[in-house]
Amino acid sequence: MLVHRRWNSLDQADNGWLRAKFHFRVNAAGNPAHRPLDSLVVWNDDEIAVGGGFPMHGHRDIEIITYVRQGVLGHRDTLGWEGTIHAGDIQVMSAGTGIRHAEFNQGDVPLKVYQIWLLPRETGAKPQWATRSFPRIDRSGRFAVLASGFAGDPDALQIRANARVLGATLKAGDSIRHQLAPSRSAYLVVASGRITVDGEPMGPRDGAALTNAAALDVCALEESELVMVETG
């Protein structure tokens, strides 16, 4: 089953320095159809203005994956980790028993990121943070695993959730058939371009929730970049 969440159907917020769209409902006033998908509870499409950012704030018992689409993200936290994450790179943070951090636009163009939150398998673990570059060529024409809490993905950034994050870049006309385990669901976002998923046309920044599916068939109508979370 595929449920298409079109870009114009997503809840949104504009705080001046931050413009955001929400693939999943963030409060009671949000779209009631945009419920969590297994352990996947947040997928925010954020645009942070030059000079803007989130001041130091705390998280606990949540897995946070940040996918940088454009610009440079700066990270600093109370446990001493610090880094810069560029377009195409991934950052993962397991909040565990608690961590405070700041994230900010460290470049000279608007910073565009996906903020993805997953519920951990267990609470109270030691916090951890990591980042890695994933060259686009490694994702060309296929879904590559970027972060994972499943066994069998040793080359991915490790998270503590029953989920994994994948990315793909497609040329116009490329097709992918991606198998899903019987117990897993998926949420797919078109970061750029236009595609079809199981025949359903999807435009830029659209999302799709897939449940009770053995596989998904993706065809690129133009050059496209995709991000997907499998969970379950």
- Strands 157-158, 144-148: pairing is parallel
User: What does the pLDDT average to over 7-34?
Assistant: 94
User: Reading across the β-sheet that carries 195-197, which strands appear in turn?
Assistant: 175-179, 215-220, 195-197, 200-202
pLDDT of residue 18: 97
Q: Tell me which CATH homologous superfamily contains domain 2-231.
A: Jelly Rolls (2.60.120.10)
- How many CB atoms lie under 10 A from the CB of residue 63? 27
What pLDDT, in 10s, does the model give residues 163-197?
A: 999 999 999 999 999 999 888 999 999 999 999 99
Q: Which of 167, 169, 168, 171 is nearest to 222 (CA)?
A: 171
- Give the distance, in angstroms, between the CA of residue 157 and the centroid of all CA atoms in the same chain: 13
What pLDDT, in 10s, does the model give residues 35-90?
A: 999 999 999 999 999 999 999 999 999 999 999 999 999 999 999 999 999 998 99
pLDDT of residue 28: 84
Instruction: Tell if the pTM clears 0.85, that is, is over it.
Output: yes
pLDDT of residue 143: 96
Q: How far apart are CA 196 and CA 16, in angstroms?
A: 34
User: Reading across the β-sheet that carries 82-86, which strands appear in turn?
Assistant: 53-59, 99-105, 72-77, 82-86
Average pLDDT, the chain: 95
Q: Which of 50, 56, 54 is nearest to 70 (CA)?
A: 50
- Give the distance, in angstroms, between the CA of residue 43 and the centroid of all CA atoms in the same chain: 6
pLDDT of residue 158: 96
- How many CB atoms lie under 10 A from the CB of residue 179? 9
pLDDT of residue 88: 86
Whether the CB-CB separation of 144 and 168 falls below 8 Å is answered with yes
What pLDDT, in 10s, does the model give residues 89-105?
A: 999 999 999 999 999 99
